[in-house]
A = this chain, B = another copy of it.
Amino acid sequence: MTTDQPQSDGAPSETYSEFETRVKRIANVSNAAGILQWDQEVVMPDEGTPARAQQLSTLSSISHELLTADETGALLEELESATLSDEQAAVVREVRRRYDRETSVPQELVEEISETTANAHPKWKQAKENDDFEAFAPTLEKLVELKREYATHIDPDADPYEVLFSDYEPYIDLETAEGVLERLRDELVPLIDAIGDSDAALETDAFAGTFEDDDQEALARDVLDSLGYNWNRGRLDTAPHPFSSGTQFDARVTTRFEEDDLLGSITSTIHEFGHANYTLGLPDEGYGTPLGEARDLSVHESQSRLWENHIGRSRPFWEQFLPVARERFPSLEGVTPEAAYEAANQVHDDNLIRVEADELTYHLHIVIRFEIERDLISGDLAVEDVPEVWNDKYEEYLGVRPETDAEGCLQDIHWSHGSFGYFPTYSLGSVLAAQLYAAAEADLGDLDSDIREGNLDDLNGWLREQIHQHGKQYTTQALIERATGEELTADHFLEYVETKYGELYDLEA
């Protein structure tokens, strides 16, 4: 039973406070580890790894021990039969979920997975470099088995893939996710075909040329300024694989610069801004409990993609931002906002690489991975058959066939981490981004003129109010329904891309 107000009856309140102290302790250890990881990616000297690995492993086992201690279990039980406020009940729900999962998997299995993935990473890297899938296959086989076993410990009666998926997305059921992915596949394949057949000639060379790193960095700071990034609680650095991390007090962005890819650095910076901006919108007073933590991967990805795609790849954004970019790069003088917009939205239907994909083909890359990993975990697909199935699916959905496994099934790092079930959250993020953006425009009116004026306060205020400030108080589906009045749906995404790309590529309605 829950009520709107915290109860003041002594015992449970004291219990809750003991519980909260424990939860905050775990969060502080994890957040400390987050800083160590940021440090490792961004500033740590090359040879710091051996010590860093031990530090991270120690923090990870301390936080595991604190979470799975008998005291945590006893406190949870006591609180579950107490009268709690909605907020307290949400904290208990979230910690219970993690407690149940972490206590159900034997420590030896956790360690075996951890060791296997640690060794898998260099093997995958080597196999990719040598285009040698067979060298990686036994490791992949082992990881599939271990993660299947892991899932069985968590819920012996459930579909193991569903259990794995729920590690990344606990509150969207797999059936919903699968429905979304199937719709994306069924509707995007013909749309991309139509684009391939279109005679429309997009201007694609707006950002051709070379661009100095230092100037790109200055421009990345301009981008973050214009989006309203809070520098008092953030910073920008470079990392080989851009990411953002941190807490509501300190959410940092990384990006990377390649001299021939200015557009890539801008969109990547905006993407990471979206993540960091979500983190910065979490309530200060929730720091250390799930109330101050982001909802899971799909919601996080909805924020990065809303900013990257709905803002950063929009026409009014380029109307506003191109003059700023021209100040850093006078060579952009002759580029029109329309040309920049077209360059930012070109569909590459012959691209084989997920991370280089456009807004449309991206989801077919995801669908392919999802279908393969689901069948790997169920046992319907043997590891040895992955390359052929991969290539067949690329041919079927995208009309291109990888000539090597390096640019085929070995391209992504995820499986070498044992991360099966992660990929779908990327597409769910895009779908949710469109749904949220539509809801924001329904509430606030058309946002184009705000974007054109570089005034994103209203949109950001809406996101703060509807999403960010709630942390993990609501489950994902409840959060989505509160914010948009609907369950998660691909409708808005499909409408968005059909309108946008229909116009860009001059397709018949």
Stretch at the interface among A29-37, A263-271, A368-376: A29-37
Known: A28-B54, A29-B62. A250 touches B36 (CB 8 A): no
Partner of A51, one of B36, B51, B59, B247: B247
Copies of this chain per assembly:
2
A449 within 8 A of B: no
A39 within 8 A of B: yes
Known: A47-B249, A48-B249. A28 touches B58 (CB 8 A): yes
B287 touches A45 (CB 8 A): no
B29 touches A58 (CB 8 A): yes
Main secondary structure of the interface of A (DSSP, over half): helix
A8 within 8 A of B: no
B-chain residues with CB within 8 Å of residue A58 when the two chains form the complex: 24-25, 28-29, 32
A54 touches B284 (CB 8 A): no
Known: A28-B54, A32-B59, A35-B35. A48 touches B287 (CB 8 A): no
For residue A67, give the distance in angstroms from its CB to the closest CB of chain B: 14
Known: A32-B32, A58-B32. A235 touches B43 (CB 8 A): yes
What 11 additional pairs, Cβ within 8 angstroms, besides A29-B58, A35-B36?
A25-B58, A25-B62, A29-B59, A29-B62, A32-B33, A32-B58, A44-B250, A45-B234, A47-B250, A51-B250, A54-B288
B31 touches A55 (CB 8 A): yes
For residue A224, give the distance in angstroms from its CB to the closest CB of chain B: 13
Chain B residue at minimum C-beta to C-beta distance from A51: B249
Partner of A39, one of B39, B45, B59: B39
Give 1 or 0 for each of A15-31: 1 = CB within 8 Å of chain B CB.
00000000011001101
B-chain residues with CB within 8 Å of residue A31 when the two chains form the complex: 51, 55
8 interchain pairs (CB within 8 A)? A28-B59, A29-B62, A35-B35, A35-B36, A35-B39, A45-B232, A46-B233, A52-B249
A331 within 8 A of B: no
B288 touches A45 (CB 8 A): no
Chain B residue at minimum C-beta to C-beta distance from A237: B43
Among A44, A45, A50, the one with the most B-chain Cβ atoms within 10 Å of its Cβ is: A45
B-chain residues with CB within 8 Å of residue A57 when the two chains form the complex: 28
B-chain residues with CB within 8 Å of residue A51 when the two chains form the complex: 31, 247-250, 287
Known: A35-B39, A55-B32. A45 touches B284 (CB 8 A): no
For residue A71, give the distance in angstroms from its CB to the closest CB of chain B: 14
Chain B residue at minimum C-beta to C-beta distance from A58: B28
Partner of A54, one of B24, B35, B49: B24
Chain B residue at minimum C-beta to C-beta distance from A31: B55
Chain B residue at minimum C-beta to C-beta distance from A248: B51
Chain B residue at minimum C-beta to C-beta distance from A59: B32
Tell me the complex Cα distance, A29–B66, Å. 14
Tell me the complex Cα distance, A398–B55, Å. 48
Tell me the complex Cα distance, A52–B49, Å. 23
Chain B residue at minimum C-beta to C-beta distance from A287: B51
Give 1 or 0 for each of A234-277: 1 = CB within 8 Å of chain B CB.
11000000000001111010000000000000000000000000
For residue A72, give the distance in angstroms from its CB to the closest CB of chain B: 15
Tell me the complex Cα distance, A260–B249, Å. 35
Give 1 or 0 for each of A331-365: 1 = CB within 8 Å of chain B CB.
00000000000000000000000000000000000
B-chain residues with CB within 8 Å of residue A52 when the two chains form the complex: 249-250
For residue A239, give the distance in angstroms from its CB to the closest CB of chain B: 13
B45 touches A235 (CB 8 A): yes
Tell me the A205-237 residues at the B interface (CB within 8 Å). 231-235
Chain B residue at minimum C-beta to C-beta distance from A38: B39
Chain B residue at minimum C-beta to C-beta distance from A46: B232
Among A43, A49, A232, the one with the most B-chain Cβ atoms within 10 Å of its Cβ is: A43
